[in-house]
């Protein structure tokens, strides 16, 4: 997880704590909205992913008022202080990392089968 957090913080120019919460929020979103087997494989290949999902504060707040989905995820990430370009940078870097961990085919399934995600890939 540290490798991923360092990478995201450097690429997006954000604090490491924000990067960790962001990874957790994205993984939590993928767990709810994406293809279960591929998402779980990705989570299993990122040590500390479960803790990051908990730290991100899944559930509650503005995100739940929006009803979920990619728009709610975006609102949550903006609540962490990220702008749209930061979100795109983090998402693209996370997907690159995921390709390294579970392969391009696995990440392609996640992107293709998660509603709204292709705009960030």
Of 44-48, 54-58, 115-119, minimum mean pLDDT range: 54-58
Return the structure tokens found at 67.
Answer: 């009803």
> How many helices and strands, by DSSP H and E, does the chain display?
7, 0
Is the pTM higher than 0.95? The answer reads no
Nearest by Cα to 115 from 60, 69, 50, 62: 69
Alpha carbon distance, N-terminus to C-terminus of the chain? 20
Given a cut of 60, whether residue 114 has pLDDT beyond it is yes
In the chain, % of residues over pLDDT 90:
79
Place of tokens 């120019």: 13
Q: How is domain 2-115 classified at the architecture level of CATH? A: Orthogonal Bundle (1.10)
Residue ranges covered by each domain of the chain: 2-115
């Amino acid at each position: 997880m540290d490798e991923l957090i360092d990478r995201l913080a450097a690429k997006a120019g954000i604090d490491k704590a924000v990067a960790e919460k962001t990874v957790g929020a994205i993984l939590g979103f993928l767990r709810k909205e994406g293809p279960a087997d591929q998402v779980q494989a990705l989570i299993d290949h990122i040590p500390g992913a479960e803790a990051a999902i908990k730290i991100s504060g899944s559930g509650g707040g503005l995100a739940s008022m929006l009803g979920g989905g990619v728009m709610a995820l975006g609102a949550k990430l903006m609540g962490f202080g990220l702008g749209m370009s930061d979100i795109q940078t983090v998402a693209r870097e996370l997907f690159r990392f995921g390709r390294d961990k579970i392969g391009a085919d696995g990440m392609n399934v996640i992107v293709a089968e998660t509603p709204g995600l292709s705009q960030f890939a």
